[in-house]
Amino acid sequence: MPSTTSILLDLKNKYTRLNFVPGESFAWSSSDNIVFYDEKSPDLQILLLHEISHALLGHDKYDRDIELIAMEREAWNKTTELAQYFNIEVLDSLIQSAMDSYRDWLHSRSSCPKCQAIGLQTDISNYHCPACNNNWSVNEARTCALRRYKTKKRT
Ligand SMILES: [Zn+2]
Ligand SMILES: [Zn+2]
């Protein structure tokens, strides 16, 4: 497996239209054309490729949480492709745990706080419960790759 510094250099050389900026977590910002990365992550190489995948796929805003899940699936497929190209191993367990974390996240956002039924998303930050007519708001969440490391529960 190539070293962390060499892969970062390779990626910067290959994807010259993208900006790479160290940060506290991994994220793709389409408005600024920036891939943020956490230098200290044990999965740095893979997660860098994952954010680059979002960039290459032109992922931008989404209107419904379910679209984010689809975008993540697409990005992970692309990540696997890129990883082969760069000769980096991607563990299925990493992808599974990432996808699980998005599904858990979706489940916790979409569950009605009053009756636990699954609600319908009415816009980017609101849900409606068809069972008890409750409405609730959710925080906007754009970062994806490190969601599984977040300990703070969303309500
Ligand atoms: Zn309800
Ligand atoms: Zn992602």
| Tens-place pLDDT, residues 122-150 | 998 899 999 999 999 998 665 554 444 33
Query: Torsions phi, psi of 125, nearest 5?
Result: -125, 15
Question: Nearest bound ligand to CA 36?
Answer: 2
Q: For the chain, how many structural domains are there in total?
A: 1
Q: How far is the CA of 142 from the centre of ligand 2 (A)?
A: 9
Q: How far is the CA of 145 from the centre of ligand 1 (A)?
A: 30
User: In the chain, where does DSSP find H-type helix?
Assistant: 4-14, 44-56, 65-85, 92-110
Cβ contacts of 61 within 8 Å, gap of 6 or more: 30
Which pLDDT score, from 0 to 100, does residue 82 have? 95
Q: Which residues constitute the domain of residue 117?
A: 4-95+102-149
Q: How far is the CA of 53 from the centre of ligand 2 (A)?
A: 8
Q: Is 155 domain-assigned?
A: no
Q: How far is the CA of 39 from the centre of ligand 2 (A)?
A: 17
Both tokens of residue 20? 């790479």
Share of the chain above pLDDT 90, in %: 59
Residue position matching structure tokens 């920036």: 34
Q: Is 34 domain-assigned?
A: yes
Q: Is 28 domain-assigned?
A: yes
Q: Report the distance separating Cα 66 and Cα 46, nearest Å.
A: 23
Q: Is 126 domain-assigned?
A: yes
pTM of the model: 0.83
Q: Report the distance separating Cα 94 and Cα 152, nearest Å.
A: 21
Q: Is 72 domain-assigned?
A: yes
User: Per residue in 37-81, pLDDT tens?
Assistant: 998 888 899 999 999 999 999 998 888 999 989 999 999 999 999
Q: How far is the CA of 144 from the centre of ligand 2 (A)?
A: 4
DSSP state, residue 117:
P
Q: How far is the CA of 65 from the centre of ligand 2 (A)?
A: 13
